[in-house]
Amino acid sequence: MTRIARLAALVVCWLAPGAARAQNPSVILIQNATILTVTHGNIEHGSILIRDGKIAAVGADIKAPDGATLIDATGQFVIPGIVDCHSHIAVDGSVNEAGPAVSSMARIPDVLNPEDINIYRDLAGGVTTANILHGSANPIGGQTVVIKLRWGQPASELPFQGALPGIKFALGENPKRSNFTPPPGVPQRYPATRMGVEEVIRQAFTEAREYKKQWDDYNQRKAAGQPNLIPPRRDEALEPLLEVLAGKRYIHSHCYRADEILMLLRVAKEFGFTVRTFQHVLEGYKVADEIAAAGVGGSTFSDWWAYKMEVIDAIPYNAALMAKRGVVVSVNSDDADEARHLNQEAAKSMKYGGMSANEALKLVTLNPAIQLGIDNRVGSIDVGKDADLVIYNHDPLSVYAVAQKTLIDGQVYFDRQRDIARRPEIEKEKQALLDKEKKAAEEAKKAEEKEKQEAKPEKKPDKKKPAKPQSDASDAGVAGGAR
């Protein structure tokens, strides 16, 4: 990013959420809306009362308490905030620590970037909660974090308090590095087969168990009062795996093919851990019974396919088929762009597989909340849950629906009308910054020239201009158009 672009981005950062924080009303009543509660049907001409960031009441006849801020949603639709179970936004730099095959010491929560513009863009697409994952370069990848898209807040305010942390696992082509060539001089990394991927995971959990034994032994001796004990050496790669074994950290495993899905279920059984979600899981429909029996969630794409060999059997009916066999299914984005229209992606399961509208809506609200263990807080419009809501101008499962307002914890973090109204102001400020930058550059150039002249007063400035290359590029206005 150029300095100018960075400055301009900063302007957007400051302006967009500003008013939301300034007002911060504690009691809000959304009125006259069609409310898609997800858990208990749709309410026509309904109201939602929000108090201190929580949903206080939902129904057809709720009176506005004194001093409540009213949001008129006549003709509009309200759904629970969209939960994206697979996202890589708000990460500063690469999401892949691709060096070792086990990179569980790498921590996504340490590199959250609250100024990533994609937070705001996804918020404008109705996303309120996102599972920020490490990449898929390793059989055992980095630590992950669930965030709320509290645009304008510092990194410390993004994590979803109370959500269990996660760890990324990955199976298939990515961890075996099928589609990546190491730079010259860098050897290929083990594993390079699906057999190797399994063994990397088994090896890591074998070590984790040994490590746990050492600590248990140490703690036992310590408790018994044994003197002169030396604690085991801490291993930052194995500690997250101990949390997995203790059920304190969720595994979100990237996978595609049916065979590798069954492989991880076998390994999980062997070592006594559970997998929380299979991510992508594009062949999940082939082994849906096995996934359902293991109680693992499936978080998939709507209609992606053919981008690599292991997705050749991907079908857009996957979500519907898995759901029919009892798997808790979500549709995710894996992409800042896709996250902007997850409501549309959910609707595709109505076309492919005949899901009902409510079941389709669950794919991006309640089901991902269940998968992330936060369904007591978000995912539906129920009293007591966080007031994370999206107001659309049309049926949210229609291609014509545009998010008008997105609320998190009862605060309006995105307001389409306000966004539109601010554009001239932002444009003006951007122009002022550009002008300032240009002026500063001109002055610096002048000062430099003056310095040169003063340094060599005897030499006259060269009158001859350097010959300009007569290129088509320059006559096509390249120089003038440079930004």
124: nearest Cα among 415, 417, 426, 423: 415
Minimum distance from residue 280 beta carbon to another protein (Å): 14
Restricting to residues 326-365, which ones interact with another protein according to CB under 8 A? Answer: 336-337, 340-341, 344, 347-348, 350-353
Q: Which two structure tokens, joined as six digits, stand for 14?
A: 């400051």
Residues 241 and 208: beta-carbon distance below 8 Å = yes
Q: Which two structure tokens, joined as six digits, stand for 280?
A: 């992508």
Within 8 A by CB and 6+ apart from 462, the residues are none
Q: Point out which span in 60-68, 78-86, 189-197, 286-294 binds another protein (CB under 8 A).
A: 286-294
> For 281, left (φ over 0), alpha (ψ -120 to 50), or beta?
left
Residues 264 and 169: beta-carbon distance below 8 Å = yes
Q: Among 9, 57, 70, 105, which residue sits at the site for another protein (rule: CB under 8 A)? A: 9
Restricting to residues 384-413, which ones interact with another protein according to CB under 8 A? Answer: 394, 397-402
Residues 10 and 116: beta-carbon distance below 8 Å = no
| Identity of the residue, 135 or 152, whose beta carbon is nearer to another protein in the bound complex | 135
| Identity of the residue, 26 or 474, whose beta carbon is nearer to another protein in the bound complex | 474
Within 8 A by CB and 6+ apart from 260, the residues are 171, 172, 194, 197
Binding flag, residue 188, another protein (CB under 8 A): no
| Identity of the residue, 176 or 249, whose beta carbon is nearer to another protein in the bound complex | 176
Residue 319's φ and ψ, nearest 5 degrees, are -60, -45
Q: Among 98, 140, 170, 389, which residue sits at the site for another protein (rule: CB under 8 A)? A: 98
Residues 430 and 422: beta-carbon distance below 8 Å = no
Minimum distance from residue 27 beta carbon to another protein (Å): 29
Q: Among 305, 358, 382, 409, which residue sits at the site for another protein (rule: CB under 8 A)? A: 305
AA identity, residue 212: K
Binding flag, residue 117, another protein (CB under 8 A): yes
Residues 8 and 433: beta-carbon distance below 8 Å = yes
Task: Find the DSSP H helices in 272-415.
Answer: 288-293, 318-324, 342-351, 357-362, 366-371
| Identity of the residue, 193 or 453, whose beta carbon is nearer to another protein in the bound complex | 193
Binding flag, residue 192, another protein (CB under 8 A): no
Q: Point out which span in 75-83, 117-125, 152-160, 222-230 binds another protein (CB under 8 A).
A: 117-125
Q: Which two structure tokens, joined as six digits, stand for 235?
A: 């291993």
Minimum distance from residue 180 beta carbon to another protein (Å): 6
Minimum distance from residue 67 beta carbon to another protein (Å): 32
Minimum distance from residue 330 beta carbon to another protein (Å): 18
| Identity of the residue, 313 or 382, whose beta carbon is nearer to another protein in the bound complex | 313
Q: Among 224, 455, 467, 473, which residue sits at the site for another protein (rule: CB under 8 A)? A: 473
Q: Among 22, 223, 467, 482, which residue sits at the site for another protein (rule: CB under 8 A)? A: 482
Residues 406 and 78: beta-carbon distance below 8 Å = no
Binding flag, residue 124, another protein (CB under 8 A): yes
Minimum distance from residue 220 beta carbon to another protein (Å): 39
| Identity of the residue, 255 or 372, whose beta carbon is nearer to another protein in the bound complex | 255
Residue 481's φ and ψ, nearest 5 degrees, are -85, -5
Q: Among 92, 199, 207, 303, which residue sits at the site for another protein (rule: CB under 8 A)? A: 303
Binding flag, residue 185, another protein (CB under 8 A): no
Binding flag, residue 381, another protein (CB under 8 A): no
Binding flag, residue 202, another protein (CB under 8 A): no
Binding flag, residue 312, another protein (CB under 8 A): yes
Beta-strand runs (E) in 258-408:
277-280, 297-300, 329-331, 389-392, 403-408
368: nearest Cα among 413, 317, 319: 319
What percent of the residues of the chain are helix, what percent strand, and what percent coil, each to the nearest 5?
Answer: 35, 20, 40
Minimum distance from residue 178 beta carbon to another protein (Å): 8
Restricting to residues 76-95, which ones interact with another protein according to CB under 8 A? Answer: 94
Minimum distance from residue 414 beta carbon to another protein (Å): 9
Restricting to residues 130-149, which ones interact with another protein according to CB under 8 A? Answer: 135, 137
CA distance 380 to 364: 10
| Identity of the residue, 75 or 162, whose beta carbon is nearer to another protein in the bound complex | 75
Whether the link from the prior residue into 191 is cis, omega within 30° of 0, is yes
Q: Among 316, 368, 396, 410, which residue sits at the site for another protein (rule: CB under 8 A)? A: 316
From residue 420 to residue 439, the character string flagging contacts with another protein as x (rule: CB under 8 A) and all else as - is: ---x--x---x---------
Q: Among 23, 26, 178, 220, which residue sits at the site for another protein (rule: CB under 8 A)? A: 178
Restricting to residues 148-167, which ones interact with another protein according to CB under 8 A? Answer: none
Q: Which two structure tokens, joined as six digits, stand for 51?
A: 């108090």
What is residue 155's DSSP assignment? G
Restricting to residues 442-471, which ones interact with another protein according to CB under 8 A? Answer: 469, 471
CA distance 466 to 407: 59
Beta-strand runs (E) in 357-442:
389-392, 403-408, 411-415
Total residues interacting with another protein, rule: CB under 8 A: 78
